[in-house]
Every structure is written in C-alpha cells, then in structure tokens.
Chains A and B, each alone.
Chain A
C-alpha cells in the first residue's frame, strides 16, 4: 500500500526556523510536492522535488532523499502568516501508476508572537 507520515502539529515562534518532515512508503515514486493551506482556504503549491537534494524558494526550502523515502520542508524567518497546514504529496510514475497523487495527512503549524 501507500502511506505518508507527517507530524500532526508543530509550534514555533516568529522569526524562528521550523522543519516539517515527511516519510513515505509507496511504489512507483516519482516526486514529492509540498502544499500550504490556510484555514478555510484552498491548498497552494509551495515546492517540488524529483531529485535528491535541497530546493530553495525564498524563505521556504524543500529536501528529498529518495534512498531514505524522506523529505522535509524548511521554513525560515517565520511570520505569523505562515500559520497554516502543510501537506506533502507523492506523485507516481505515470506509465505504471497513472495520475495517482497521494497527499499526507498534513501538519498544522502554529506561529506564536
């Protein structure tokens, strides 16, 4: 089967750095994405990793280790507006697994003043 695990909640203070981990077990892994969702809103795309290593986009960075089936999202210089839920999501080899796109259960980040 397929499964993704994330911590359910993370709390940090403004200006700090926080790391949200994601581990996955799946067949036909192709890449790992991260999405942000504010309460009552729609998910929005943050980043995507298909290769091992770190991808940086402003204050956000995402890391992938395919051999460890592990990735993380790193948020730097936390701001109050970063309080939201963060989801990792796995995409699969389309030739053998179609468009099956699986989201993790999400991590709720609370940023305190």
Chain B
C-alpha cells in the first residue's frame, strides 16, 4: 500500500470555524490531490498540487484553500466552514501526471459541520 495518511480521520466542527485537514505521504510523489465525496456525486476534485508551492483549482474549489510547503504534506483549509462542506474528504497522490498514472488514495477524513 502507498504510504499516505490523513489527519484527522473524523472531525465535527461548528459553522463559521476554520478547519485544516492534513495529507502526508512517504512516497515522494510529485502530484497530490484533494477530493470530496458526497452521495450521488462520486468524487469531485477540490484542488491539486504538481509540486512544492505549485497548486491549482479543481472542479469545486470555492470555499477551500490549499498549501504545499513540503513534498510530503498537502494541507486543505476551510476558512469558514459551512454545512454544505460536510463530506468525506480524500487525499490522493500520483507519481506522474494523472492521465497514465494511477492515483493512490488515503483513508479519508469524515468532516461534519453543524
């Protein structure tokens, strides 16, 4: 299994509070991704990174920001959490560009915003 962890695994927070989720990898892969998964929507890409300090927006980036100061860590921040951000968040990594390279997913973080 690819060395990828997420923390926390579960979190309950209140509307309006900031939340940061962490993804840590030990594979030295260049690409890292944050997805959210909601019933009926599959996985939707929030942001991705193609190198240290190199990030870009995905399909559903509004309300989220990311940072990558080290190869191994990719942080997802909800500046002011809303109930619509209640979801399961998955981090993924890939060695190369997605087209021909499989993505390895972390175990997920279940976030509940009350």
**A residues within 8 Å of B by Cβ?**
4, 30-31, 33, 41-45, 48, 50, 87, 89, 91-92, 94, 98-106
Contacts and interface: CB of A to CB of B under 8 A. Distances in A.
Nearest to A40: B108
B56 to A, nearest CB: 5
Contacts, number: 62
A43 B105 contact: yes
A91 B103 CA distance: 12
Interface of B: 31, 33, 35, 40-45, 48, 50, 56, 58-59, 90, 97-100, 102-108
Interface of A, helix, strand, loop or mixed by DSSP: strand
B108 A42 contact: yes
A26 to B, nearest CB: 12
B58 A106 contact: no
A55 to B, nearest CB: 12
B100 A50 contact: yes
A83 B21 CA distance: 30
B14 to A, nearest CB: 26
16 contacts: A30-B99, A33-B102, A42-B106, A42-B108, A45-B102, A45-B103, A50-B99, A87-B42, A94-B97, A98-B56, A99-B56, A100-B45, A100-B59, A101-B98, A103-B44, A106-B42
Given A42-B106, A44-B105, A45-B103, A99 B97 contact: yes
B70 to A, nearest CB: 20
A91 B58 contact: no
A3 to B, nearest CB: 11
